[in-house]
Amino acid sequence: MKLGIAIAFFVVSNSTLSPAETFIGPSTVSNRLLVASNAAIIITSIFGDFTNSTVVAQGDTQIPQTYFAPLESGSSYALAGPAELIFSNAVAITYYQLTNASIFTQSIANDPIGITVASNKTMRLFSVWAPVNASFSVPGTGSVSFVLQPNQPAEFTGPGTLALNSGVLPPYGKFISYFYAEDGFAIPDERFIAGPTGSFAITVEKSFDLNKWSPVLLGNTSDATSAYYRLRIQH
């Protein structure tokens, strides 16, 4: 049963959420979109021309991006630090910055790279800003190949391995960002807060058309399976 209303749920948080900010490009020496080493940003809207004009910098390495897909309703991008987004064109980026959040960003080259998902763990991906070649394999079962597409939900439950390759040659590359559902995230209006660890997942989703759904609350509890949960809408 899917309940399409908000849940009254208390979340203990070790993450710090900053107010929304809007970055106006292009990037200059004094105008930079930086992500600290203990932080991540959640990008909720983008406007401008990003084709062959965006670079992700990680340390001394700058990786140009061939494409930055427009965000659709309910989707968001993420980038974990230390990193910098560099724009050579005029752009507008609205984002939230979190510190001490369990969000991971993986750079992807043309050579395949694998990310292991442990047993009883579920990896949830933020939207990718360009298509990424991928496959998921489960020990003793087999594997399937596919393409991660922008604005397409994706999650994988372990044990298994998510293999990725960019499909583009250096110096170009691609990225994915993700978190583990067991860490718990509350997402009021796309604002992410790390929550408690536990055994049972609680997910509340929203939709503007009853077709595409995105999470507004991902939480966990170790309560007994006989526990009750109350859902409430308040203004």
Half-sphere exposure of 98 (CA within 13 A, CB side): 23
- Residue 155 CB partners (closer than 8 Å, separation 6+): 122, 123, 124, 125, 181
* Residue 34 in domain: yes
Compute the residue count for the chain: 235
Using DSSP, state whether 40 is helix, strand or coil. Answer: strand
- Contact of 81 with 40, CB cutoff 8 Å: yes
Predicted pLDDT at 227: 63
- Contact of 90 with 26, CB cutoff 8 Å: yes
* Structural domain boundaries, residue 68: 16-104+174-221
* Residue 123 in domain: no
List, in sequence order, every residue forming a beta bridge with 158; answer none if it has no partner. 119
* Residue 88 in domain: yes
Choose among 30, 28, 5, 23: nearest CA to 77. Answer: 23
Predicted pLDDT at 96: 87
* Residue 3 in domain: no
* Residue 147 in domain: no
| Parts of the chain with a pLDDT under 70 | 1-18, 183-207, 211-235
Predicted pLDDT at 119: 94
* Residue 196 in domain: yes
Residue 89 Cα distances to 48, 140, 150, angstroms: 7, 48, 21
Predicted pLDDT at 9: 32
The pTM of this model reads 0.75
Tokens of 184: 């718990």
Count of domains observed in the chain: 1
* Residue 10 in domain: no
Tokens of 194: 């790390």
* Residue 78 in domain: yes
Predicted pLDDT at 10: 32
